[in-house]
Structure 1
Amino acid sequence: MASRIRNYLSIAEVCAELDIARSTFNDWRTKGRAPRCIKLPNGSIRIRRADLDAWVEQHCEEAA
Structure 2
Amino acid sequence: MGTERRYLTLKAFCEELGVAKSTFYDWCAKGRAPRYIKLPNGEIRIRRTDLEAWLESREVAA
Question: TM bucket by the smaller chain?
Answer: 0.7 to 0.9
Unaligned runs of 5+ in 1: none
Across the aligned residues of Structure 1 and Structure 2, the Cα RMSD in angstroms comes to 1.6
Q: Report the Cα offset of residue 49 of structure 1.
A: 0.4
Question: Residue 60 of structure 2: which of 36, 56, 62 is its match?
Answer: 62
Question: Normalization by structure 2: what TM-score?
Answer: 0.83
Residue in 2 that maps onto 1:49:
48
Q: Report the Cα offset of residue 62 of structure 1.
A: 3.4
**Deviation readout 1:1-56 (Å, 9 max, x if unpaired):** xx7xx211111111111111111111001111000010112211110000001101
Alignment coverage as a number of residue pairs:
59
Q: Report the Cα offset of residue 63 of structure 1.
A: 6.5
Residue in 1 that maps onto 2:13:
14
Residue in 1 that maps onto 2:26:
27
Unaligned runs of 5+ in 2: none
Question: Normalization by structure 1: what TM-score?
Answer: 0.80
Question: Relative to structure 1, is the Cα distance of residues 9 and 21 closer, same or farther in structure 2, using a 3 angstrom cutoff?
Answer: same
Detail structure 1 runs of 4+ shifted over 2 Å in the superposition. Answer: none
Q: Which has the higher helix share?
A: 1
